[in-house]
Structure 1
Amino acid sequence: MKCAYETKRSSLYRRNVLDLIELFGGRAQKAHLICNVDMSRIEVRRAELAASGHHITVTSFLLKAISIAQESHPISRTLRLPLGRTVTFNDVVAGFTVERFIDGEPFVFFGEIDKPCEKTLIEIADELRKYSDLSIDKAAALNRQKRFAEWPTILRQIILHIGIWFPSFRLLCNSATFGLSSLGAMGVKTVIGPSVCTSVFGVGAVELAPVVRDGQIVIRSIMSLSLNYDQDVMDGAQAARFLQDACNLLETCPEVEF
């Protein structure tokens, strides 16, 4: 008689993602905020940059805007530690998901960009492009994660459990102060990203939609943006102000910042 199911071990290179979600995300008291962002000015700015030979993705604008907002909201880069302690990371580090193939199978890695708030959009776009163009062995962050996943399970678990108590060990595994997960290119309208740090953003598709502006119904490029945050660190009002500042930067696209 044929068995009704099939079992197998989780893939080696999924271990990092699964461990981070289970050990760090599992401790978080997760809550979510979702808003719609008018991306019309971003689309105009992208067209201007494209005309000058620079093809900048929406992700670059998102990383820039969120990192600028996070500088003003240190609570959003604060992590809960055991015994009622917290740690606030001084430097903003953007984390984002990167899909790569190993032996024909797709796997998710975490890319990182240090201090995107201090970089130009072109510099951010160049770093993003390296994550997609370079081989895993030549992309330092991806190579580190690949090698860490190949460690014996007991050693990886020891490092990760120590990281719960001591921030310096956590930084060895994941130094991102905020995360970004985007499935908009696949037509997904709303994304709730997994909680691997206190602030994780989910990005949906940019779509044309009717909105009211100055009493008139107009068509705008609208994108859904969600914030998955740890309520043990941030309360709802703090998270809302952080999200609002990021959205305002995206909607106004100020030249002085971008």
Structure 2
Amino acid sequence: MHEPKGTILPISGPRRFIIDLVHFARQVPSVPVSRLVDVSDLIEARAEHPMRPSWALLFMKAYAMVGAEHAPLRRALLEFPWSRLYEHPWMNCALAIERSFQGDHGVFIGLFRAPDQQTITQLQLALDFYKDQPLEKVGVYRRALKFSRVPRPIRRLFWWSTLNVSGYKRAKRFGTFGLTSYGALGAESLHPISPLTTTLTFGPISPERRVVVKLIYDHRVLDGVYVARRLRDVEAHLNGPILDELRRDSATPPAPSSSSREASPEPPAATVRLDVPGDPISPGLEAAVERSVDVEVPGKAI
């Protein structure tokens, strides 16, 4: 009697993205630093807010505010044609978002431009856009899925060139920091990896209203003591400006109607233009990628 054999499955676009991301993340000597943060006041203020904003957005904005004040958090190591540090003028966040894709779950990246300069309401509208809109209507998702069809050598070369040649394009396309969390599921990520300089993550909120917040950093760019101080600043901003904004919004609800949400197909906080005029890095490579991306694959929907 023959034993049943396993099934060969194709690799989906989102899975190819994660495979590429992990390939480059493994090259980063990352180290986690954690801090136990008191969010007692935030819990009540968030519950009274008309939009009940995502915890991820509160941490995102708090960290972006810290990054706006501390330039080293906006730096990245570039290694071609020589090793150097690039410092971006503002913070861009790459938020990991789970979406359904062709009957399976996949991780997509939502880009948030300068979260410290956006209101909490604007950030929540952007997150709703990334979570609820059809994949084909979200530009960054659509490009990522099309790009996943490009042959692996070209994909890897494009990733490498974006991460190592142009700091400006790196920050525009991949963000200056990442954010991921399983806290809502009662789980905590021990050491998420990323090709970015820093990645913020947090676990579930304890009955004592405290949460473990971690900042995973590239040790080639930052040092642990510095990162520990910045986590202290994140807590101060959460219980300072972020708490104040939540309370102001509760006193004067800013939430737009559903009709006004539909009128803005792509909220400003979610708009990060990927094509940068006047920064012609690797034009031949980019042209090759564009040609590959524009090819439609019969029988495969993005």
Q: What is the TM-score normalised by the length of structure 2?
A: 0.74
Give the whole-Å Cα distance in 1 for the aligned partners of 2:244 and 2:39. Answer: 18
Matched, 1:15 2:16: yes
Matched, 1:78 2:75: yes
Aligned-partner SS, 1:55: coil
Q: How does 1:1-258 map to 2 (within 5 A)?
A: 2=3, 10-23=11-24, 25-49=25-49, 53-82=50-79, 83-167=82-166, 168-171=168-171, 173-174=173-174, 176-209=175-208, 221-253=209-241
Per the TM alignment, residue 61 of structure 1 is displaced from its structure 2 partner at its CA by 0.9
CA separation of 1:247/1:109 partners in 2, compared to 1, >3 Å: closer, same or farther?
same
Per the TM alignment, residue 3 of structure 1 is displaced from its structure 2 partner at its CA by 7.7
Task: Look up the match of 2:274.
Answer: none
The one-letter code matched in structure 1 to 2:134 is S
CA separation of 1:54/1:117 partners in 2, compared to 1, >3 Å: closer, same or farther?
same
Aligned-partner SS, 1:60: helix
Give the whole-Å Cα distance in 2 for the aligned partners of 1:223 and 1:138. Answer: 35
Deviations 1:184-215 (CA, angstroms, capped at 9, x unpaired): 11111454322231110111111212xxxxxx
Identify the range of structure 1 (35-44 vs 2-11) with the bigger mean alpha-carbon deviation.
2-11
Give the whole-Å Cα distance in 1 for the aligned partners of 2:212 and 2:234. Answer: 13
Contiguous gaps of at least 5 residues in structure 1: 210-220
Identify the range of structure 1 (86-95 vs 243-252) with the bigger mean alpha-carbon deviation.
243-252
Give the whole-Å Cα distance in 1 for the aligned partners of 2:194 and 2:30. Answer: 7
Contiguous gaps of at least 5 residues in structure 2: 247-302
**Preserved contact between residue 27 and residue 195 of structure 2 (Cα < 8 Å):** no
Per the TM alignment, residue 224 of structure 1 is displaced from its structure 2 partner at its CA by 1.2
**Preserved contact between residue 186 and residue 204 of structure 2 (Cα < 8 Å):** yes
Deviations 1:16-60 (CA, angstroms, capped at 9, x unpaired): 22212212x2221111111111111111211231xxx32212122
The one-letter code matched in structure 1 to 2:205 is V
Task: Look up the match of 1:214.
Answer: none
Give the whole-Å Cα distance in 1 for the aligned partners of 2:190 and 2:109. Answer: 17
**Preserved contact between residue 63 and residue 116 of structure 1 (Cα < 8 Å):** yes
Give the whole-Å Cα distance in 1 for the aligned partners of 2:192 and 2:182. Answer: 10
CA separation of 1:165/1:94 partners in 2, compared to 1, >3 Å: closer, same or farther?
closer
**Preserved contact between residue 37 and residue 250 of structure 1 (Cα < 8 Å):** no
Give the whole-Å Cα distance in 2 for the aligned partners of 1:13 and 1:207. Answer: 32
**Preserved contact between residue 191 and residue 204 of structure 1 (Cα < 8 Å):** no
Q: Which has the higher strand share?
A: 1
Task: Look up the match of 1:212.
Answer: none
Identify the range of structure 1 (100-109 vs 244-253) with the bigger mean alpha-carbon deviation.
244-253
**Preserved contact between residue 17 and residue 109 of structure 1 (Cα < 8 Å):** no
The one-letter code matched in structure 1 to 2:238 is L
Aligned-partner SS, 1:17: helix
Per the TM alignment, residue 96 of structure 1 is displaced from its structure 2 partner at its CA by 0.8
The one-letter code matched in structure 2 to 1:99 is E
**Preserved contact between residue 56 and residue 122 of structure 1 (Cα < 8 Å):** yes
CA separation of 1:19/1:253 partners in 2, compared to 1, >3 Å: closer, same or farther?
same
Percent sequence identity is 24
Q: What is the TM-score normalised by the length of structure 1?
A: 0.85
The one-letter code matched in structure 2 to 1:12 is G
Give the whole-Å Cα distance in 2 for the aligned partners of 1:173 and 1:9. Answer: 27
